[in-house]
Amino acid sequence: MISEPLIAIVDDDDGMRASLDALVRSLGYRTTTFDAAERLLGSEHIGEAGCVISDIEMPGGMDGIALTMKLLATAPARPVILVSAYVTDRIRTAAMAAGAFAVLKKPFVGETLIEAIESALPK
């Protein structure tokens, strides 16, 4: 039996993390959530995650762009979707240069994230 891909969600905001988790689970995917990039990197699930959704701005530690670079250095085919309320042209350019699959500005419509996930995952 083939199980659905594991989607790792990283966001320091408890409410946003819970909302993203509920949305992604409603699509039938398995999820694991983290309140910091470092927690994902130190997790036993790191190698299993088929896609990562991460906030860009996270205080007190690694941001989403640095996380993207770190993840893609070890698993170049793993898509990373970055989200932030503060997306500027400079941030979007830096995120895409780091290898992000997509950059979404909060608040976004759930369908936009769903489309990004479905496009990012292998068919």
3-state secondary structure the chain: CCCCCEEEEECCCHHHHHHHHHHHHHCCCEEEEECCHHHHHCCCCCCCEEEEEEECCCCCCCCHHHHHHHHHHHCCCCCEEEEECCCCHHHHHHHHHHCCCEEEECCCCHHHHHHHHHHHCCC
All structural domains of the chain with their residue ranges: 6-117
pLDDT tens across 48-94, in order?
Answer: 999 999 999 998 889 999 999 999 999 999 999 999 999 999 999 99
pLDDT above 60: residue 27: yes
Question: Residue 1's pLDDT band (boundaries 50, 70, 90)?
Answer: very low
CATH topology of domain 6-117: Rossmann fold (3.40.50)
pLDDT for the residue 55: 98
pLDDT tens across 28-40, in order?
Answer: 999 999 999 999 9
Query: What's the whole-model pTM score?
Result: 0.95
pLDDT for the residue 58: 92
Share of the chain above pLDDT 90, in %: 89
